Amino acid sequence: MDEIFLQRLSAVITELMCAGRTLRELGRVDDAIRCFEALAIGDATYETGAYAFELALCYEMKSDAVTSQKFAKIALRENPGLYSYSDEIKRILSSQ
């Protein structure tokens, strides 16, 4: 692929990730979920766990513990080191 195309694609992905985080922080959780789901289309790793982590936080905000834990587990599967430095992952996995 063309190098310029890849740079532009990378910029779009970064912007969508930032938009999703901002939307989550503003309480627009459903919109944030749409951003992260769009980023994860066709990617079973959820970009090495980053999108899954963000989705776990979103579903936690929606009080959906089951779905939040599902994404937290995906995030840990793809990035096991996440558990050692993420209080959010620990909180999500310990919730009932």
Structural domains for the chain: 3-94 (1.25.40.10)
Counting every residue written for the chain, the total comes to: 96
Q: Using an 8 Å Cβ cutoff, are 58 and 26 in contact?
A: no
Residue 26, classed as helix, strand or coil, is coil
CA angle 95, 92, 96 (to 5 degrees): 15
In this structure, what are the phi and psi dihedrals at residue 81, rounded to the nearest 5 degrees? Answer: -65, -15
Q: Give pTM, 2 decimals.
A: 0.88
pLDDT digits (tens, 9 = 90+) for 56-82: 999 999 999 999 999 999 999 999 888
In the block, tokens 């959780």 appear at: 29
pLDDT digits (tens, 9 = 90+) for 37-53: 999 998 888 888 899 99
